[in-house]
Amino acid sequence: LGTQTGLLLSPRTITELFIPQYRRLFSFYRQRGVLIEFHSCGHIMPLLDTFIDLGINILNPIQASANNLETMRRVTLGRMALHGGISSSLLVSGPLEAIADEVKNRIHQLGSTGGYFCAPDQEMPWPPEHERAFERALALFGRYPLIG
């Protein structure tokens, strides 16, 4: 529903056309005990309260380049888990030390109290050594209690 700088459609269009259908579908699944993971790329901050109201359990992917992650965590804390946040651009280009730093910082920023799945903000093929650096950093910094 988002682009890099704003919503893809007007809030009115989203509210009138999409939200009633999301509400209907999500209600059906929630009544059956299914967790709702909602995927929307881009800048989706204006919709966070709507997503929470819809009963979305996990929001994916959290695009660091398009959202204010501090605000996103503050708004969703205890109400919706976040998934993503690791810059895909950084995973493509590196360097390895910056990947490890990003993983550590995001885990502390978004997951210090739980409710965070540390993952790339987009899926694409990464250089193998960059993927290994991500996995090593996740294994090192992604265990509670958080270190560093």
Query: DSSP alpha helices (H): ranges in 31-141?
Result: 48-53, 69-76, 88-93, 96-111, 128-141
pLDDT computed for residue 67 by the predictor = 95
CA distances from 5 to 1, 47, 59, 73 (A): 11, 14, 18, 19
CB atoms within 10 A of CB 68: 12
Tell me the per-residue pLDDT of 20-74, one tens digit each, with 9 for 90 and over. 999 999 999 999 999 999 999 999 999 999 999 999 999 999 999 999 999 999 9
**Which pair of structure tokens corresponds to residue 112?**
């210090």
φ, ψ of residue 25 in degrees (nearest 5): -65, -45
**Which pair of structure tokens corresponds to residue 87?**
């810059």
pLDDT(146) > 80: no
Tell me the per-residue pLDDT of 102-127, one tens digit each, with 9 for 90 and over. 999 999 999 988 999 999 998 889 99
**Which pair of structure tokens corresponds to residue 16?**
């009138």
What's the predicted TM-score (pTM) here? 0.92
Mean predicted confidence (pLDDT) in 81-87: 96
Q: How confident is the model at residue 16 (pLDDT cuts 50, 70, 90)?
A: very high
Please tell me the distance from the alpha carbon of residue 134 to that of residue 119, in angstroms, as a whole number: 9
